[in-house]
Chains A and B, each alone.
Chain A
């Protein structure tokens, strides 16, 4: 049995999250390396379908955070700074 919660404000917001323009989890995986590296290396923005997907899909969002942290280490930015830049871009 899973822990249950009620329909509080935070949960209502999750239900009402706009997930258009559409991008699948597979599409997200396809583009995430280029998007994260470009964001961290050049400060470029994240394309809208990918941005929306990362906001709408908890697991893809978590994987993107991890990728940003790892790439951030390679780029000399550090984990927390890289994670912050990703969150700001979302």
Chain B
């Protein structure tokens, strides 16, 4: 037990940013209104015992709720859900994020602010929850390779090059990738199934699927190189 358990306490006054406005622990002076909780204090209090820890965990949960509500409010997948459902998801994600962060408290090295470190747990959990909800009851089918579209390049030459490249990519998907790699790559990049949802349905992990996609992309580029396409001039990056 800490030394504060017999002190008469009022409920903590915490702002939306997790700032403790006034705390009555005798060992610390009152913090000015609006002043953030120092990182070291977060850790001290979250690793304490008794009411100090209970209070700190409640403040961490408030911080998580800020992150989860923010993430939910920004996700297009959540826009079709009612306000009550969105809030329910935000709370549920904040609960899970708080537990995750507490379990990994020793990985906080102080290289970012504690609030930034904590937000990432809330954002991750809220994203997972919203996508899970949005995809609930939807079948996921693993498809094979689609037909190339006709290129709409600016010149006849670029149209031909675009068509040749798309045709070669299609051949590469069929010849250079394993069936598993092909299904994963098509599901993620063409059907645009979120990676965590696909992982859940396939009984694997986000990491494992990203590795599969990574290997598939490497094999595809090698195939194109062997087919005479100058890979150095091929696009190096695209979001997704």
> Which residues of A does B touch, CB under 8 Å?
1-20, 22, 24-26, 29-30, 32-34, 36-38, 52, 55-59, 61-63, 66-67, 69-71, 74, 90
Interface assignment of B92: CB less than 8 Å from any CB of chain A: no
CB <8 Å contact, B191 and A16? no
Contacts of A90 in B (CB 8 A): 237, 239
User: Hey, which chain B residues are within 8 Å of A22, CB to CB?
Assistant: 214
CA distance A13 to B151 in the complex (A): 13
B232 to chain A, nearest CB (A): 10
Whether A71 contacts B146 in the complex (CB less than 8 A), given A7-B170, A34-B111, comes out as: no
Q: Is the CB of A4 within 8 A of B189?
A: no
Min CB distance B17 to A, Å, is 7
Cβ of B123 within 8 Å of any chain A Cβ, yes or no, is yes
Q: Does B98 contact A (CB under 8 A)?
A: no
**Given A2-B141, A17-B217, A25-B207, also A70-B123 (CB < 8 A):** yes
With both chains docked as a complex, state the minimum distance between the C-beta of A29 and any C-beta of chain B, in angstroms.
7
| Any A CB within 8 A of the CB of B83 | no
- Most chain A CB neighbours (cut-off 10 Å) among B170, B173, B217: B217
Helix, strand, loop or mixed for chain B's interface? helix
Taking a contact as CB atoms under 8 Å apart, the answer to whether A4 and B67 are in contact is: no
Residues of B within 8 A of A (CB): 17, 66-67, 70-71, 74, 107, 111-113, 115-117, 119-120, 123-124, 127, 138-141, 143, 145-149, 151-153, 162, 165-166, 169-170, 173, 185, 188-196, 206-207, 210-211, 213-214, 217-218, 220-221, 224, 234-240
In the assembled complex, the Cα of A30 lies from the Cα of B148 at a distance in Å of 38
Residue among A24, A25, A63 with most chain B CB within 10 A: A25
Q: How far is the CA of A38 from the CA of B116 in the complex (A)?
A: 11
Minimum Cβ distance to chain A for residue B189 (Å): 4
The answer to whether B120 and A33 touch across the interface, beta carbons within 8 angstroms, is yes
| Residues from chain B with Cβ under 8 Å of A30 in the complex | 107
Q: Judging by beta carbons under 8 Å apart, are A14 and B238 in contact?
A: yes
**Is A2 within 8 A of B193, CB to CB?**
yes
CA distance A5 to B145 in the complex (A): 10
Residues on A with C-beta less than 8 A from B66 are 70
Contact A2-B191, Cβ < 8 Å, known A7-B146, A19-B214, A56-B214: yes
Whether B127 and A62, one on each chain, are in contact in the complex, defined by CB atoms closer than 8 angstroms, is yes
Q: Known interface pairs A4-B143, A9-B166. Does A24 touch B210 (Cβ–Cβ under 8 Å)?
A: yes
| A6-B149 contact in complex given A25-B207, A34-B111, A57-B210, C-beta closer than 8 Å | yes
